[in-house]
Chains A and B, each alone.
Chain A
Amino acid sequence: MSIDTRTVQNVARLARLQLSPEELDPCAEQLSRILTLMETLNGLPTEGVEPMSHAVDIRLPEREDQVCNGDQREALLACAPDTEQYHFRVPKIIE
């Protein structure tokens, strides 16, 4: 399977990764090669096989409904690139 630069651009947009025009062709070429490798899977019949999402089959644990986290505002905001009045600050979100 070979993918074109338009697809690459679309995927990069979905993934929020800026790609320069020079990066498009090599990227398309590499992804195409990897996808070709993946297509060997088509040689294996899988009708009726249950998809496997988890490495081990365990029961989902549930925790008690208890408040156990203190206020970690200062510590978490200290990690942020930009804050203002106890908020994370980002460029204007245009609705």
Chain B
Amino acid sequence: MKHPPPSRYESVIGLEVHAQMRTRSKIFCGCPNQFGAVANSQICPVCAAFPGVLPVLNREAVNMAIKTGLAIHGQLRLFSEFSRKNYFYPDLPAGYQISQYELPIVEQGHLMIDSPTDKTSKRIGITRIHMEVDAGKSLHEGILGASWVDLNRTGTPLMEIVSEPDLRSSAEAGEYLKKLRAIVRYLEVCDGNMEEGSFRCDANVSVRLRGTTTLGTRCELKNLNSIRNVMRAIDYEVERQIELVEHGEQVVQESRLWNADLNSSRSMRGKEDAHDYRYFPEPDLPPLRITPERIEAVAQTMPELPEAKSVRFQTQYQLSAYDAGVLTSSRELADYFEAVAQHTADLGHPNPKAAANWVTVELCGRLNRDNREIQHTPIPAHRLGQLLAMIQRGTLSGKMAKEIFEILFTDGGDPEQIVRQQGLQQVTDQDAIVQVIEQVLDAHPEDVGLYLAGKTKVFGFLVGQIMKASQGKANPALVNQLLQSQLLKRG
């Protein structure tokens, strides 16, 4: 954190995440649920709220909410209800948003995070998860004297995941978001893309004197389109509120719009209506009843989640908790690692620790440099597996392998072939090595004499000379072994 708050204060943070669910169709109609289509090409009378139309709930959206609820150890309500949240806005065609209000489908869940602040594992409560519909989009920029409305996004199923105010720093907020995002991605219920808006976050922030338990007045931060921005906006807000309190001023409860370019937020007060959403139960949708059998059936379809996978990696592959944690931070990365480990094993050279190392250090490091995600790795898992097997087999030195790795990363290809083409293969042909050894020994008779006289220190020097003569291609283990016997022959 750039600006740690003076220790007298503690920040209290709760996050509201809106996750777009990855159903094929929209939540209440059969229009496609797809990002990036031509304006208004994915609308029908239902999602565009024409007169007389009615909503019909998408079963898969409910299943996704159940999955997420189970993953965060939440309590699933067998009886939940949809309500209408009434307000006027051009991209809200019905004039109300269908949302779960009094009786949400999931309550009282939690996530464990590794707090970067306390260096401990910390339980973050999740108050509720409810289903609702997304609104459309209004376009303003570059349009003369008007705004445009595109309703493609209208009716996209959303989960709103509301945390308890259990987070105490921006770093914890960042950890929580990463954890939550990994879970929804593992479950394949949301693609977790903050930039495209499929995973959106509002932050409720307040400060109080350390040691007190009452909550201060909170502000809601909006327009946070990356985890980095969530953290920056929280830091800014904490500092702003502390400054207000220090100067004896009051924090005003309000919504504040974050501006990432200016690295500051501004009040939305006055700009927004004094809201009175007039919630009431949606008369077009009877209450949602789910059965324990259905929950059980959905549970059967759940993939292994990050925590369980991490534990398994530690036992099955003997990985450190740290490595297992890194590898399971995303499902794709974990799958990639397992594929590499499997492939090296299939080639007869199992070494999961080396696989973990290569994936977390070499590959992730290289991807980071290019700002790429594991999904977009140019090296398929079986190629990296091949490369690792070649190291194990002794065909490649670690140094050579790194060179091949770079070639694989930039140009792709088959590591065996590259090695052959580049003539990088280690020389393991005993006769060839003996030949080089003989040449070197012939060129250094004094050193041979010293060695035979008991000055074994020169052995290292001779190895060096042999490696040099072989242009580094000789297998060092073989060189050691053969040099020994050749020297003895001269004794």
Which A residues are within 8 Å of any B CB, using their own CB?
14, 16, 53-54, 57-69, 71-73, 76-77, 79, 84-95
Q: Is the CB of A63 within 8 A of B148?
A: no
Q: List, in ascending order, chain B residues with CB within 8 A of A14's CB.
A: 276, 278
For B81, give the chain A residue with the smallest CB separation: A53
Q: List, in ascending order, chain A residues with CB within 8 A of B50's CB.
A: 76, 79
Residue from B23, B40, B59 within 8 A of A76 (CB atoms): B40
For B146, give the chain A residue with the smallest CB separation: A89
- Total chain B interface residues with beta-carbon distance under 8 A: 50
Residue from A65, A84, A86 within 8 A of B58 (CB atoms): A65
Q: List, in ascending order, chain A residues with CB within 8 A of B151's CB.
A: 88
Which B residues are within 8 Å of any A CB, using their own CB?
23-25, 29-32, 38-46, 48, 50, 56-62, 81, 88, 90, 138-140, 143, 145-151, 271, 276, 278, 280-281, 283, 285-289
Q: List, in ascending order, chain A residues with CB within 8 A of B46's CB.
A: 69
Q: Is the CB of B90 within 8 A of A93?
A: yes
Q: List, in ascending order, chain A residues with CB within 8 A of B287's CB.
A: 54, 60
Q: List, in ascending order, chain A residues with CB within 8 A of B58's CB.
A: 62-63, 65
Q: List, in ascending order, chain A residues with CB within 8 A of B143's CB.
A: 84, 92
Q: Is the CB of B57 within 8 A of A88?
A: no
Complex Cα gap A87–B58 (Å): 27
Q: Is the CB of B271 within 8 A of A95?
A: yes
Q: Is the CB of B140 within 8 A of A89?
A: no
Smallest CB–CB gap between B147 and chain A, Å? 4
Q: Is the CB of A87 within 8 A of B148?
A: yes
Complex Cα gap A72–B38 (Å): 12
A59 and B289 in contact (CB under 8 A), knowing A65-B59, A67-B31, A73-B41? yes
A84 and B146 in contact (CB under 8 A), knowing A58-B286, A69-B29, A95-B271? yes
Q: Is the CB of B90 within 8 A of A65?
A: no
Q: Is the CB of A87 within 8 A of B149?
A: yes
Complex Cα gap A86–B111 (Å): 44
Q: List, in ascending order, chain A residues with CB within 8 A of B147's CB.
A: 89-93
A90 and B90 in contact (CB under 8 A), knowing A60-B57, A76-B45? yes
For A75, give the chain B residue with the smallest CB separation: B45
Contacts A79-B50, A93-B147 known; 9 new A-B pairs at CB < 8 A:
A54-B281, A63-B57, A69-B44, A69-B46, A84-B143, A85-B39, A89-B148, A90-B149, A95-B140
Closest 3 CB pairs of A and B: A68-B30, A87-B148, A65-B60
Complex Cα gap A24–B71 (Å): 54
For B42, give the chain A residue with the smallest CB separation: A71
17 A-B pairs with C-beta separation under 8 A: A54-B281, A61-B56, A63-B30, A65-B25, A69-B25, A69-B29, A71-B41, A71-B42, A72-B44, A85-B39, A87-B150, A90-B138, A90-B149, A91-B147, A92-B140, A93-B138, A93-B147
Q: Is the CB of A92 within 8 A of B145?
A: yes
A88 and B43 in contact (CB under 8 A), knowing A60-B285, A67-B30? no
For B60, give the chain A residue with the smallest CB separation: A65
For A68, give the chain B residue with the smallest CB separation: B30
Complex Cα gap A64–B48 (Å): 20
Complex Cα gap A57–B286 (Å): 8
Q: List, in ascending order, chain A residues with CB within 8 A of B276's CB.
A: 14
Q: List, in ascending order, chain A residues with CB within 8 A of B146's CB.
A: 84, 89-92
